[in-house]
Structure 1
Amino acid sequence: MLRVAVVRGWYLPISETFIYSELVNVKSVSPIVCCKKIVNLEHFPFKPIYQYKDNDDLIDILRIQKISLIHARFGVTGADLLEVKKELGIPMLTSFHGFDLPTNAKSMRRYGDRLQHLFEQGDAFTVTSENMKEILIKYGCSPDKIFVHHSGINVSKFSYKKRTARENETITVLTVGRLVEKKGMEYLIEAVHRVHQHYPGIRLRIAGDGQLKRTLEKQVERLKLDGIVKFLGEVSHQAVVEEMKKAHLFALASTTDNVGNQEGIPNVLKEAMACGMPVLSTKHAGIPELVEDGKSGFLVPERDPVALAERLLHLVQHAEDWEKFGTHGRKTVEQFFNIDRQIENLERIYSLLLSK
């Protein structure tokens, strides 16, 4: 069986369950992992994993392991590995996921002049949405090299649950994400503050950690939302699943941050929809390719807490609509974003590159 080296700087940040799902489910090739640092191995057990110090070290590893294809996770990694690809004379697939887009000023500083070399010398690229594909084309990548490959989820791990609420019942809204600007947590907290004035029974649970935690905690204190908004900190993926079982609604207020960093299509939205939760999110990046406004939930403009509050209050006050939103969301994920279908798509891309 042909061997593929999945190369990622760190193996594996806690938020990147999508990479792990592909590693353990792909069947047509034999994958290995190559990285510079190993973290969270207890959450993502996998063998074999090889650590490397620099490109020369990586070249030796790939030669010894008789690797036929490099799969670079994230564009910046692909740019770093161009000399490895050239030295070994093997094809390279590079997957873009969001922060690595050329619209992100920080990523562009890392690319320097290497992005165009990557587009020219790279054999193929995957993106997680049509929106992301258009961005790569705009910056000079040939559309013939780009495959839209959604990050799939294992739908069977997320039990569908019909969401209901009695009149004046406490309603729990869940959000999951790193506490960084891109996740738009400040706008969601402001929206909950507005809704709380009309419906005191609303509660927000925030799963995630990050550099904005203290800023957001101060916002909660200022708005007198202690006891209304709960910070759960960084939690395991299984703990997220348990939170989804208990919550009524899911919200994610994603936004383009001040350096141009964007989402792809967040897996956590797919997971929430698979669980049957109505979702509230933003018209951001690839999210409208997953969430159909008015069918599986609602979408509002980025950075608009007033619109978020209006739609959130509507959801809170119209629990009779939750079931139709939840069933539509579950069907969408089952049909288009399940891991089995996306693994098949990835294996087709691998096969195409290996046949060359």
Structure 2
Amino acid sequence: MITKSVAFFVDSFPKYSEPFIVNQIVGLIDLGFEVKIFSRKHNRNIIPTEDILKYELLDKHKCYIEDIHIPDNKLERIKQAFCIYRNNPKIRKPIIELINPLKHGRRGLSLRHVFQLGYFSDCMDPFDVIHAHYGPNGKEVLKLQKIGLFNARKTVVTFHGYDLHDYESKFYEDLFKSNYTYTVNSQYSKTKLEQLGATSKITIIPMGLSDVYLKDIEISKTEKKITILTVARLVPVKGIEYGIRAIKIIIGQGYEVNYWIIGEGELKNELQKLINKEDLDHHILLLGAKTEEEVYETYKSTDIFMLPGISTNGGVQEAQGLVIQEAQAMEIPVLVTDAGGMKEGMIDNETGYVVPQKNPEAIANKLVRLIEDESLRERFGKKGRDFVKENYDNRRLIKRLVSEVYES
């Protein structure tokens, strides 16, 4: 059967830290698919990227939590629920069933299901595929399907990282009892998902790079100092503290470098205090969040990319780290740690280095090797670009998603 329509369920839309979701959506549209996007939250203050505007993705988007307004006043709630019933003949039968307290308890009497049916009344016709990104959104889809919404020939849930670590297996018990299909971005993620109890088919399809990273690139290196870059949320799993401490070591050895960190997060103040304490504010800059276009421009003037991820006390680890592939696409050697699935997305000693996690000395040693050897950086950079063009081309990965998952 040929897939024609796909409904995506995501946390929020659009989102700077998730360009891979937009890449996947536009890749499907390029192949002729009809796509709709449903999110739990709006990101109203974000500047839409070129692809979001070009493909008019905001017009294909609905927010299924924030946009459903249920009156607090019980009488007003009943009045509006009756209007939904009266004005939508095709959902009257499921409404009668959903307000039955014997089947749905207090939730049925709350009339929340009625407002959901009213909001999604144009989504009663089945999609070919429902594709939820992140496990909790898969659970939301399951709830909606149980009340008669978003029926589909196939439902796919993609797990990325936090959704493999922040929840125990009991959280996904109902999800794993369904006949859903799962995809993950690395072998590391597949192993974690199996440990949580998934028994259905799991396909490894990493998140891919958009065309902007695969076209001919222009390097605009003007800074005389070596520039080292990290692009990451400022959260514990990214291990940025260890990158800062490694920079402290090489500065102490007499090397002049810039270390730029792009991203926002809960550790911003703590990391800035560490930078100030170590007297590194002339070498290390926290640049805040940047658009995808701004990140791309920053790559052009970068010599070395570093993602010093760790396994947190709670066992959270980086599952893929698409920025590692972005950097390689820009012919930048990469330095990552052995935590999680990061090392699967590069070739140790050929496109960069893998070092032990939480080890600033090991990070510093490899940074020095790259700083001192320009020809090594160039060799790793060219090999890295060849590697990601072969393995992370979004167009190829989208075709795999369609043939191996949607239509299998």
Settle same-fold status: TM greater than 0.5: yes
**Secondary structure of 1:335's aligned partner:** helix
Letter in 1 for 2:7: A
Query: Equivalents in 2 of 1:241, 1:164: separation in Å?
Result: 13
Aligned pair partner of 1:333 in 388, 391, 397: 388
Q: 1:79-131, CA deviations, whole angstroms, 9 ceiling, x for partnerless residues?
A: 23222234445331100000000xx2x333xx7x3412212204200100011
Partner of 1:149: 205
Question: Does 2:150 correspond to 1:132?
Answer: no
Higher deviation after alignment, 292-301 or 41-50: 41-50
Gaps of 5+ in 2: 69-111
Aligned pair partner of 1:12 in 11, 14, 17: 14
How far did residue 190 of structure 1 move?
0.2
Q: 1:154-204, CA deviations, whole angstroms, 9 ceiling, x for partnerless residues?
A: 2543544679999xx511101111111111110000000001112331110
Aligned pair partner of 2:336 in 257, 268, 281: 281
Query: Equivalents in 2 of 1:165, 1:25: separation in Å?
Result: 34
Partner of 2:178: 121
Query: Equivalents in 2 of 1:296, 1:133: separation in Å?
Result: 24
Letter in 2 for 1:282: T
Partner of 1:3: 5
Query: Equivalents in 1 of 2:16, 2:338: separation in Å?
Result: 26
How far did residue 151 of structure 1 move?
0.4
Q: 1:239-290, CA deviations, whole angstroms, 9 ceiling, x for partnerless residues?
A: 1111100111111111122322222211111110000001111112111211
Partner of 1:42: 48
Query: Equivalents in 1 of 2:312, 2:171: separation in Å?
Result: 24
**Secondary structure of 2:183's aligned partner:** strand
How far did residue 41 of structure 1 move?
5.9
Summarize the alignment of residues 229-244 of structure 1 with structure 2, pairs less than 5 Å apart.
Answer: 229-244=284-299
**Secondary structure of 1:78's aligned partner:** helix
**Structure 1 runs of 4+ off > 6 angstroms?**
162-166
1:307–1:163 distance in 2 versus 1, CA, 3 Å: farther
Aligned pair partner of 1:228 in 283, 292, 305: 283
Aligned pair partner of 2:134 in 71, 74, 86: 74
Aligned pair partner of 2:326 in 259, 271, 275: 271
Query: Equivalents in 1 of 2:308, 2:122: separation in Å?
Result: 41
State whether residues 76 and 107 of structure 1, in contact with CA within 8 Å, keep that contact through their aligned partners in structure 2. no
**Secondary structure of 1:246's aligned partner:** coil
How far did residue 67 of structure 1 move?
2.2
Cα RMSD over matched residues? 2.3
Q: 1:8-31, CA deviations, whole angstroms, 9 ceiling, x for partnerless residues?
A: 131132100000011111025311
Identity within the alignment, %: 27
**Secondary structure of 2:358's aligned partner:** coil
User: Which is higher, the Rg of structure 1 or of structure 2?
Assistant: 2
State whether residues 8 and 36 of structure 2, in contact with CA within 8 Å, keep that contact through their aligned partners in structure 1. yes
Summarize the alignment of residues 54-65 of structure 1 with structure 2, pairs less than 5 Å apart.
Answer: 56=113, 60-61=120-121, 63-64=123-124
Query: Equivalents in 2 of 1:350, 1:30: separation in Å?
Result: 17
Higher deviation after alignment, 25-34 or 227-236: 25-34
Query: Equivalents in 1 of 2:309, 2:404: separation in Å?
Result: 30
Gaps of 5+ in 1: none
1:135–1:300 distance in 2 versus 1, CA, 3 Å: same
Partner of 2:26: 24
Letter in 1 for 2:202: I
Question: Does 2:160 correspond to 1:97?
Answer: yes
**Secondary structure of 1:8's aligned partner:** strand
Question: Does 2:185 correspond to 1:185?
Answer: no
Q: 1:196-225, CA deviations, whole angstroms, 9 ceiling, x for partnerless residues?
A: 112331110111111111111111111111
Summarize the alignment of residues 171-210 of structure 1 with structure 2, pairs less than 5 Å apart.
Answer: 171-210=226-265
Query: Equivalents in 2 of 1:236, 1:164: separation in Å?
Result: 20
Query: Equivalents in 2 of 1:351, 1:213: separation in Å?
Result: 40
1:301–1:287 distance in 2 versus 1, CA, 3 Å: same
1:301–1:222 distance in 2 versus 1, CA, 3 Å: same
Letter in 1 for 2:375: E
1:267–1:96 distance in 2 versus 1, CA, 3 Å: same
